Amino acid sequence: MDKHYLHTHMNLDKMKRGAARTGLFALAGGTLLAVLSFGILQSGDDNKDQLVMRVVNDVLAGAHYHPKNIDDQLSAEVFTTFIDQIDAGKRFFTEGDIDLLSQYKTQLDDQFSTGNSAFFDESYSIMKSRFEQAESYYKELLAEPFDFTVDEDFESDPDKMSWTDEEGLKNRWRQQLKFRVLGRIYSDMENADEENPFNFEESEARARESELEVHNEWFKNLNDMERVEWFGTYMNAFTLQFDPHTQYYPPRQQENFEIQMTGQLEGIGAQLSPRGEYVTVASIVTGSASWRQGDLEEGDKIMKVAQEGEEAIDVVGMSLNRVVDMIRGPKGTVVTLTVKKKDGTTMEISIERDIVELEATFARSVVLGDEHKMGYIRLPKFYVDFFDDQNRNCSEDVRIEIEKLKSEGVEGIIFDMRNNGGGSLQEAIDIVGLFIDRGPVVQVKNPRNETVTYSDRVSGTAYDGPLVVMVNESSASASEIVAAAIQDYGRGVVVGSSSTHGKGTVQNVYDIGRVLGARFDDQGPFGAIKITTQKFYRINGETTQLQGVHPDVVLPHSYMSIDWGEKEYETALEVDEIPATNYSRSPQYSESTWARVQASAQARIDTSSKYNRIIEYASWLADQQEETAFSLNWDTYRASEQARDEEAQQWKRLTRVNDSLSIHPLPSHLTLFESDTAKEEEYSRWYRNLSHDLYLREATYIMQDLR
């Protein structure tokens, strides 16, 4: 079976050491990917930094889907990116430091090509010195109370700041610390009660003490970071210029890569990433404890972590590894996260740790409605097991669910791929094949502009009746391919947010030690590089990259007024087109039916108070993101935060409807419940959520219109 992934392809390359020694490495199937230029090197010729730089350089130039010229312009972009990555808040480097380092601004391309690390070495030396200086700043500033009667503002957006001298740097630290202490005082005031009355002076003292502890921990982590990790940051300043999904992993990150992924599965099931001083939720693992609990969301900033029965520990400024270690724990124990939401509010979320129940990641279905029954299938991911033919794959599971629903006499099927981040390409093709009678599904292009069309070659369909496909802004990769194919064939109505995620690329991960060969083993480990190697296109020639799939019926959603998905990345690959492949479009419905369905849906949206509220919230959320300056006067700050909190309360439960949709479990579910009460509870919670789902309600209305 072809092992292509539409989402990030994390399969380490399978090449033999002998092939590596020749300087060649390839994708599965023998396709030549690059010819590396250092085959004549001998062990000991270069140090590790130089070897890594030369390999990364050659891989980017020779293997990337859309290589760039490594020239003075790219050098300047790398310079800016690297400085931003190591001092995003402009609180370490002075204006003089930047001026000194700027002499290298157009030399980084030449140093990269030759394995010269002079710029990194000087940056690293200055950085270590500035860390020591900043450490003295915060200890001095937190030793005395702040004056909260002064009218001054703190600017939180580094893009609106300029580089400054040492005096300005210290003042920037003063304002940052003062702002953080203010937040703690406000939190104390909000949590005060008769037994624990609020006292400003006592709260201020506790807040400074807590900030001191947090910063001591943060700087300990900074000082503990090895040089090779900072060097990895430098390498990624280069890789990021090519696209947001190409990345160098230093040895420690490479070793922990899978451990972190599976470790999350054994904890709460949230994939985390560092963003500035915060560890942020990058995604929620489908079927995990976090996914089932439901409150933790992508983009949440983790502020505190509390073990069951213990006091919460502030984790702002802590390293990713430390926060992950605190969140992990044995199955059955509870961890409580205090998170900052996108709208600026805070929430405490208690999650019982668990091992991901694979059953929750599998396709499942129910019957909706009473008089006119509809089938509903939820597909959380495009799963497959390449190594065991006896294990489940999603296309076969969806086919089985279709047969169950047909036996219940449903008059239409709603296929839900919301928040489905992708997976196996072959499974995406096979799922499209359940709804069409043979034909092309997706086109794939490699760096040499060679295009291959992947098709469903199985005659017949599993289901040919009315079909509604649900997507949202987090439907990515394989989900986008399926939605696009359904749309291109006119097979069903695609409904969802204004566009899907927009990730139309595939990555492969290569072990640099294997690329270099055995003669360099004594200098390893070297880490690995993940690189974008292919791009995917619809059968009509359009790409899902960046622009995603635009639904036939667009539903308002919370993030409609801000950039989301691939659009957030400045270096995302561009939108382009290729010729359409040969396919026969045979719409299931006439143009008049299509127009009637869309007009009816739009009329419901326009007259719905729920959707109007979502539109208002999206606008409010976008405005909140523009507010980056905060008062450091206690009275002004308190009034502003209270107003913000009161305003945020009105936006709760926006996507839930009060009247419930009729849900009928399948006979197979009822049989399962007889022997597994835990499953009955899990499914019952799922049924309740479905019954109050605003977007699913609209999908049922569209299905009724189709009939």
Give per-10-residue mean pLDDT for the chain (707 aa): 37 29 24 38 63 91 92 97 94 97 97 94 96 97 97 94 96 97 94 91 96 89 86 95 91 50 55 81 78 87 93 86 83 92 89 69 90 94 64 88 97 96 88 96 93 94 97 94 97 96 86 83 84 94 96 94 86 95 90 94 96 92 88 96 87 83 91 80 90 96 93
Token couple for 131: 């860390």
Compute the distance between CA of residue 532 and CA of residue 534 in angstroms, rounded to an integer.
6
Distance CA 338, CA 271 (A): 16
**Per-residue pLDDT, 425:** 84
**Those residues with Cβ within 8 angstroms of residue 256's Cβ, 6 or more apart along the chain or in another chain:** 321
List residues bridging with 543 in a β-sheet. 537
Task: Please report the pLDDT score of residue 32 as a whole number.
Answer: 28
CB 81 within 8 A of CB 52: no
Give the predicted TM-score (pTM) of the model: 0.73
Give the pLDDT score at 652. Answer: 81
Which residue reads 């300005």 in tokens? 168
pLDDT of res. 16: 26
DSSP 410: -
- In Å, how far are 58, 112, 446, 513, 577 from 33, measured between CA atoms? 11, 21, 10, 17, 23
pLDDT score of 262: 28
Residue with tokens 């092309």: 440
Q: How far apart are CA 660 and CA 663, in angstroms?
A: 9
Query: Buried b vs exposed e over 505-515: b needs ≥16 C-beta within 10 Å?
Result: bbbbbbbbbbb
Domain(s) of CATH 2.30.42.10: residues in the chain? 267-352
Report the C-alpha gap between 270 and 287 in whole angstroms: 11
Torsion 313-315-316-317 (CA) sign: positive
Q: How far apart are CA 150 and CA 666, in angstroms?
A: 65
CATH 3.90.226.10 domain position(s) in the chain: 358-706
Q: Which of 490, 506, 401 is nearest to 439 (CA)?
A: 490
Residues 6+ apart with CB under 8 A from 634: 148, 149, 182, 185, 200
Q: Which of 71, 69, 101, 107 is nearest to 86 (CA)?
A: 101
CATH for the stretch 267-352: 2.30.42.10
Classify residue 523 by burial, with Cβ atoms within 10 Å: 0-12, 13-18, 19+: middle
Write out the two tokens for 235.
């390498």
Note the CATH architecture for domain 358-706.
Alpha-Beta Complex (3.90)
Q: Residue 163, exposed/middle/buried by CB under 10 A (0-12, 13-18, 19+)? A: middle
Residue 20 and residue 14 in contact, taking contact as beta carbons nearer than 8 Å: no
> Tokens 């667009």 appear where?
554
Q: Which of 706, 443, 485, 452 is nearest to 586 (CA)?
A: 485
CA distances from 515 to 45, 52, 184, 511, 522 (A): 16, 10, 50, 7, 14
